[in-house]
Amino acid sequence: MKKKALFLITVLLTAIGANAQNRISDNGDGTYTNPVIPADFPDPDVILVDDTYYMVTTTMFVFPGVTVLKSKDLVNWEYCSNAVPRFDFSECYNLDGCSRYSHGQWATSIKFNKGKFYLLFITLDEGGFICSAENPEGPWELKKLPKGFYDPGLFFDDDGRIYVAHGYGKIFLTELDENFAPLTNDSLIFTGDIRGGLEGMHVYKINDLYYLYGTYGGLDGIQVALRSDNIYGPFEEKVVISDSTRGVTFGIHQGALIRTQTGEWWTMLFVDSGPFGRFPSLQPVTWVDGWPMVGVDGKGVVTCRKPDVGKEYPPKELPTSSEFDSDVLGMQWGWNHNPHPAYWSLSERPGYLRLTTGKLVSNLVEAPNTLTQRPFANYDQTVPTTGTTKLETGKMKNGDIAGIAIFQDPYAYIAVRHSGESKELIMVNNGETIAVTPMKGDTVYLRAVASNRSSVATFEFSFDHKSFIQLGNELKMKFNLKVFTGNKFCLFNYATLETGGYADFDWFRTGILNN
């Protein structure tokens, strides 16, 4: 334990000293660089409560999910909670004969009203849901609603009435009761007229005017504001940013308007940023003739001064590496679909993540208890992102396959396969076994190396944790809407012939090539 703690401190100091600026938006000089988080945190909604900002994002089929982050300055974020530990509203969330890839929770609206936090979201198959909590760290209460709302924008008006704006192309408004059930029929309040796909509405009341803040989505997203002196309209429409500049601000869209404690206005939007997913981008807002114009001169900013929140706060980095020394997983981790608690453990062998097989499957796509994590891109795009794990395989059974993957559609992995009386290392690319080499002993170090810039991932192994050897070919990563989340690191162990075998992962580390 002490050895691991000392190692972790060394890694942390190295990251802060030599590599921090590759992974942290805060430049340390009063400015920041977009994306504000270089990882897959899409569909952001942000609110300010007291002196803390809270942001909720989309996690879809990953649980614990519905990730909430917190920040003091809109630039440096940390994990607050995963509001939904698991989602037991369909067997598909258990990978039991079906799945929820490209489905599940998305486009959540976060609000604070009368001492309580609320998260309103939809799943395409199961409908609408509301989470509520007095403490944003949780626990959160999850309740299914009698009606779902597409891309909901929850709004508590000054007179106590509750509304939700929702829809795709055509935007509707529905008044809700105190239990978030409809009080009225859906009222059509605006039809998108720039192009198809108007969505992602957030509702605000500013200077006695109602604003709907939404997007014509897509890679070349267009962010618009609608305004009216009546919440039912009629609404005027204004394009507030449509950035066609290739790079980190191209097509910036869908998110929240934010007023700081000092009266400044900002917006958190996102950009489709490549195979790693959709990255949040913090942009300044200037009010012009009553419209919240985004960026500078019609373009998104890349480097900008930090928001004035009345105080200065130090840079922070979201965690990625894990020593598995705690009795709980770090909040950066989420399971591919619902976890099965009987088949994973941090306590059966303290200091290790143990994955035990409990079900026969034919491939990784079907494998339960696959542990996932978002890869973070480096601001120096020439530097790839690495994930390395130490794997112990002595208790695997015939037909078990355990290793590390980059998962989307397509996916690939390097793994140990138990075959008869022996074990071998394999590299599999989208279901096809590309390379096989003998395994030596029971312990191996496996590494995935992925570049968001080139969309290429490769896989390596080592028996001494010094010399790594590439196995197999390159994965050409994609951001495929059949999955709809960015590529993820995965740790897995699945059974093809018999159940009950297990693999122990000693640690998972990112960011330093020679760790």
Q: What is the CATH number of the domain that holds 220?
A: 2.115.10.20
337 shares its domain with 300: no
Which 3 state secondary structure label does DSSP give 479? coil
289 shares its domain with 408: no
| Residue 154 identity (one-letter amino acid) | L
Question: Residue 151 burial by CB count (10 A; 0-12/13-18/19+): exposed, middle or buried?
Answer: buried
Q: Is residue 287 part of a domain?
A: yes
Q: What is the CATH number of the domain that holds 483?
A: 2.60.120.200
Question: What integer pLDDT is reported at residue 485 of this predicted model?
Answer: 97
The domain boundary, picked from 305, 320, 346, lies at 305
- Rounded Cα–Cα distance for residues 57 and 66 (Å): 6
155 shares its domain with 78: yes
Q: Is residue 15 part of a domain?
A: no
pLDDT tens-digit readout, 208-252: 999 999 999 999 999 999 999 999 999 999 999 999 999 999 999
Copy the structure tokens of residue 468: 């790594």
424 CB contacts (<8 Å, ≥6 apart)?
Answer: 416, 417, 436, 437, 438, 439
363 shares its domain with 220: no
Q: Is residue 455 part of a domain?
A: yes
109 shares its domain with 251: yes
Is residue 52 a contact partner of residue 102, using CB atoms and an 8 Å limit? no
289 shares its domain with 383: no
Q: How many domains does the chain have?
A: 2
pTM of the model: 0.95
Q: Is residue 162 part of a domain?
A: yes
- Rounded Cα–Cα distance for residues 326 and 382 (Å): 34
- Rounded Cα–Cα distance for residues 165 and 178 (Å): 16
Give 320's strand partners: none
pLDDT tens-digit readout, 129-142: 999 999 999 999 99
247 shares its domain with 383: no
- Rounded Cα–Cα distance for residues 427 and 414 (Å): 4
165 shares its domain with 94: yes
92 shares its domain with 230: yes
Q: Is residue 462 part of a domain?
A: yes
Q: Which residues of 467-480 are buried (b: 16+ CB within 10 A; e: fewer)?
A: ebeebbebbebbbb
Question: What integer pLDDT is reported at residue 212 of this predicted model?
Answer: 98
428 shares its domain with 371: yes
- Quick check: is 43 catalytic? yes
398 shares its domain with 279: no
The domain boundary, picked from 269, 290, 305, lies at 305
Question: What integer pLDDT is reported at residue 82 of this predicted model?
Answer: 98
Q: Which domain holds residue 416?
A: 333-510
User: In what side-by-side order are the strands of the sheet with 52-56?
Assistant: 45-49, 52-56, 65-71, 77-84
Question: What integer pLDDT is reported at residue 515 of this predicted model?
Answer: 42
Is residue 458 a contact partner of residue 346, using CB atoms and an 8 Å limit? no
296 shares its domain with 338: no
- Rounded Cα–Cα distance for residues 494 and 366 (Å): 9
Which 3 state secondary structure label does DSSP give 394? coil
Which residues in the chain land under pLDDT 70? 1-21, 512-515
Question: What integer pLDDT is reported at residue 410 of this predicted model?
Answer: 98
Q: Give the CA angle between residues 28, 32, 33 to the nearest 5°.
A: 125
- Rounded Cα–Cα distance for residues 409 and 487 (Å): 8
| Residue 366 identity (one-letter amino acid) | E
Q: Is residue 320 part of a domain?
A: no
Q: Is residue 206 part of a domain?
A: yes
Q: Is residue 19 part of a domain?
A: no
The domain boundary, picked from 305, 323, 343, lies at 305
Q: Give the CA angle between residues 316, 317, 321 to the nearest 5°.
A: 145
| Residue 388 identity (one-letter amino acid) | T
User: In what side-by-side order are the strands of the sheet with 209-216?
Assistant: 198-206, 209-216, 222-228, 236-241
Residue tagged active-site, from 26, 40, 43, 460: 43
Residue tagged active-site, from 73, 199, 243, 400: 199
